[in-house]
């Protein structure tokens, strides 16, 4: 009986103009996102080809991540060029963003389309599943045939989930296949696996909002009431709560500004130069002191910043939407955790280069080691928090469906 009801829902969706309008909208937005983000990736790739260091040059730069087409995250910050010298690590000036318009508007990557548009689409599929049937009198007829309420609810959920998930998977798969034909875009085997996990996580995200829509439908008597309540909840979950944690965390954790950190570094540099002018100590000892104190300042700043980030993430997880964003960006290699690992690698590279500079001041540039950043293994990414965020999102989806069942059992179908 569950599958019979699911087929009925699928057929009902296929005969509805609403279904085709929504699917067409989602397809157009996904295609637009792929087109815009592919151009942005190619522009950043062209920038990388210009700023990439020559053999032996003490410069740390990471090429753009092709998965940033789907979830850009902090990939642009990780693709900056870091020059290593006796003063430490400095960011090369004059680097431009792949697309300056992203400074004014949200980045239209695949993650943004799913987070905002697809969540609303899932709610539109679920908001009237019970209340509309009650208003039309069909729900009472359906249950009059000794059909269990659990079968009805599960059939409605399964039918609408398949109606949304299958077209979405086909459109996304087609887009990825087209991207694979581009010679400038190459995905490694590990990145293909990560992309598959992102798509699975997206389906879990769709299921969560569909369960939420059905839950509200079982708690209301009219479809018009359901849609108003769900729009309010959607704005709260997607836009307000994921940003609330950052505001609250900043009031609790005191993190010095980047400007203050730069001023402290300049003070250390000025002090050591004055000591050198006075003839106190040799140049290598002053350079080592500058490097050690700068590393200590950076480490202290990073500890406070990580504390701010962790507190902000934990507060933001009140909304499962935040967990979805964290999981997708970390799996794609463009999240906060990956950016922190990258900066730690840059510091290690700086120490290695500085050691060679001090060991042999006349060292030729061709003898400096090349910088190569290796992304964290997928297992480590999952263990660091992506798996928890995925489970948290799935748990909310299961909880909302369970609450839907409890409400539907007591629902007055008359």
Distances (CA, A) of 256 to 14, 90, 293, 302, 336: 56, 19, 16, 10, 19
The length of the chain is 414
Alpha helices in 220-282 (DSSP H): 223-235, 241-252, 258-277
Distances (CA, A) of 187 to 46, 63, 172, 180, 271: 18, 13, 16, 8, 49
Question: 109, 69 in Cβ contact below 8 A?
Answer: yes
**Which SS3 state, helix, strand or coil, does residue 82 take?**
strand
Question: What's the confidence (pLDDT) of residue 129?
Answer: 86
List the structure tokens of 33. Answer: 């996102």
Give the span between the Cα atoms of 127 and 381, in whole angstroms: 35
DSSP-derived letter for residue 53 is: P
Question: What's the confidence (pLDDT) of residue 363?
Answer: 47
Question: 63, 79 in Cβ contact below 8 A?
Answer: yes
Question: What's the confidence (pLDDT) of residue 102?
Answer: 59
Question: What's the confidence (pLDDT) of residue 111?
Answer: 95
Query: Residue 320 half-sphere exposure, CB side, CA atoms within 13 Å?
Result: 24
- Domain boundary assignment for the chain: 2-409
Q: How many CB atoms lie within 10 A of CB 132?
A: 16
**Which SS3 state, helix, strand or coil, does residue 59 take?**
strand
CA 38 to chain centre: 17
CB within 8 Å of 374: residues ≥ 6 apart = none
Alpha helices in 88-239 (DSSP H): 110-112, 119-126, 131-136, 138-144, 149-180, 189-219, 223-235
Give the span between the Cα atoms of 178 and 117, in whole angstroms: 22
What HEC string does 171-201 produce? HHHHHHHHHHCCCCCCCCHHHHHHHHHHHHH
Distances (CA, A) of 154 to 193, 207, 403: 30, 12, 13
Give the span between the Cα atoms of 222 and 283, in whole angstroms: 79
List the structure tokens of 311. Answer: 């507190």
What stretches in the chain show pLDDT beneath 70? 86-87, 92-105, 281, 283, 360-366, 414
Q: For 56-107, write each residue's pLDDT tens digit.
A: 788 899 999 999 999 999 999 898 888 887 667 777 654 554 565 555 567 8
DSSP-derived letter for residue 222 is: S
Question: What's the confidence (pLDDT) of residue 210?
Answer: 96
Question: What's the confidence (pLDDT) of residue 95?
Answer: 53
Question: What's the confidence (pLDDT) of residue 2?
Answer: 84
């Amino acid at each position: 009986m569950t599958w019979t009801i699911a087929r009925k829902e699928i057929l009902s969706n296929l005969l509805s103009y609403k279904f085709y309008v929504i699917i067409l909208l989602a397809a157009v937005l996904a295609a637009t996102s792929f087109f815009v983000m592919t151009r942005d990736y190619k522009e950043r790739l062209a920038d990388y080809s210009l700023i990439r260091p020559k053999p032996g040059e003490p410069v740390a730069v990471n090429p753009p991540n092709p998965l940033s087409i789907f979830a850009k995250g902090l990939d642009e910050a990780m693709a900056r060029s870091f020059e290593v010298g006796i003063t430490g690590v400095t960011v090369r000036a004059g680097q431009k963003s792949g697309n300056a318009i992203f400074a004014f508007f949200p980045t239209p990557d695949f993650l943004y389309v799913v987070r905002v548009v697809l969540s609303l689409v899932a709610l539109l599929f679920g908001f009237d599943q019970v209340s509309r049937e009650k208003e039309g009198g069909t729900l009472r007829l359906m249950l009059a045939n000794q059909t269990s309420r659990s079968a009805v609810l599960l059939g409605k959920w399964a039918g609408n989930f398949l109606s949304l998930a299958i077209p979405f998977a086909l459109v996304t798969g087609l887009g990825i296949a087209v991207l694979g034909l581009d010679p400038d875009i190459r995905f490694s085997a590990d990145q293909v696996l990560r992309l598959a996990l992102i798509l699975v996580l997206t389906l879990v995200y769709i299921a969560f909002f569909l369960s939420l829509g059905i839950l509200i439908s079982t708690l209301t008597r009219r479809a018009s009431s359901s849609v108003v309540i769900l729009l309010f909840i959607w704005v709260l979950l997607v836009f307000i709560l994921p940003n609330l944690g950052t505001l609250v965390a900043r009031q609790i954790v005191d993190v010095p500004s980047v400007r203050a950190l730069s001023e402290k570094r300049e003070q250390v540099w000025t002090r050591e130069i004055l000591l050198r002018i006075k003839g106190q100590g040799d140049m290598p000892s002053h350079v080592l002191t500058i490097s050690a104190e700068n590393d200590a300042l950076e480490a202290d700043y990073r500890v406070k910043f990580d504390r701010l980030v962790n507190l902000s993430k934990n507060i933001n997880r009140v909304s499962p939407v935040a967990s979805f964003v964290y999981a997708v960006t970390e799996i794609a290699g463009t999240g906060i955790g990956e950016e922190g690992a990258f900066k730690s690698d840059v510091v290690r590279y700086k120490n290695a280069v500085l050691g060679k500079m001090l060991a042999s001041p006349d060292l030729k540039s061709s003898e400096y080691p090349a910088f190569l950043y290796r992304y964290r293994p997928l297992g480590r990414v999952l263990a660091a928090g992506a798996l928890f965020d995925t489970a948290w999102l799935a748990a909310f989806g299961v909880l909302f469906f369970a609450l839907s069942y409890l409400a539907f059992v007591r629902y007055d179908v008359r």
